Amino acid sequence: MGKVFRKLQKKIIGCYDFFNVKKYMKKYTCYLQKCGVHIEDYTSVGYIHPSAYLDPMDYSLFTIGHNVTISKEVMMLVHDFSIWNGMIALDPENEKKRFKFMKPIKIGNNCFVGARSFILPGTTIGDNVIIGAASVVKGNIPPNTVWAGNPAKQICTIEEFAKRHIDKQDFIQI
């Protein structure tokens, strides 16, 4: 029953996103904290799209820093049952048992995770990192870098990224 209530609560909070983003983030941050996610209070900066998926297997394995943007349909997993298949291959008797990886995900301050990206178990993303859309991210991502692809690879530093777009003047200030 608790799982159903949490899903319903998340849907209701997600409706605020259409009317008042600040109110949505305040309520959603509070909701995530109650679920066990280690997250900064998002009062004026940072955004997590309502369609972003935080693996409910163990919310306490998530740490999300200040001013983090998590875009539409991002999937973050803290568990993986693939080890079970490996254990069965070693010994068919292991089929009667259950095995899984459970590893934390940590996202530093001032990060952006692009739409439809996958953040896999055991990933640590440093401060000031941009993850491009549809990237598959695993491992330790150093601070001040831009990553993209499947698997995600470093594209450039955050300074090179910013300078390139300042030179092009291909953005607007809002």
Q: Judging by beta carbons within 10 Å of its beta carbon (0-12, 13-18, 19+), is residue 39 exposed, middle or buried?
A: buried
pLDDT of 20: 85
**E strand residue ranges, 74-150:** 75-76, 79-80, 101-102, 105-107, 112-113, 118-119, 124-125, 130-131, 136-137, 140-141, 145-148
Q: Please give the pLDDT value at position 114.
A: 98
Tell whether the model's pLDDT for residue 108 goes beyond 90. Answer: yes
Asked whether the bond before 50 is cis by omega within 30 degrees of 0, the reply is no
Query: Distance of alpha carbon 153 from its chain centroid, rounded?
Result: 17
Given pLDDT bands bounded at 50, 70 and 90, which one contains residue 164? very high
Predicted pLDDT at 18: 73
* pLDDT of res. 1: 52
**Angstrom distance (rounded) from CA 98 to CA 21:** 41
Handedness of CA 123, 80, 36, 50 (dihedral sign): positive
Q: What is the pLDDT of residue 74?
A: 98
Q: How does pLDDT run across 41-97, given as a tens digit for each residue? A: 777 789 999 999 999 999 999 999 999 999 999 999 999 988 888 889 999 998 888
Mean pLDDT of the chain: 92
**Confidence class for position 15, pLDDT limits 50, 70, 90:** confident
**What is the β-pairing status of strands 153-157 and 38-39?**
unpaired
Average pLDDT estimate for 137-163: 98
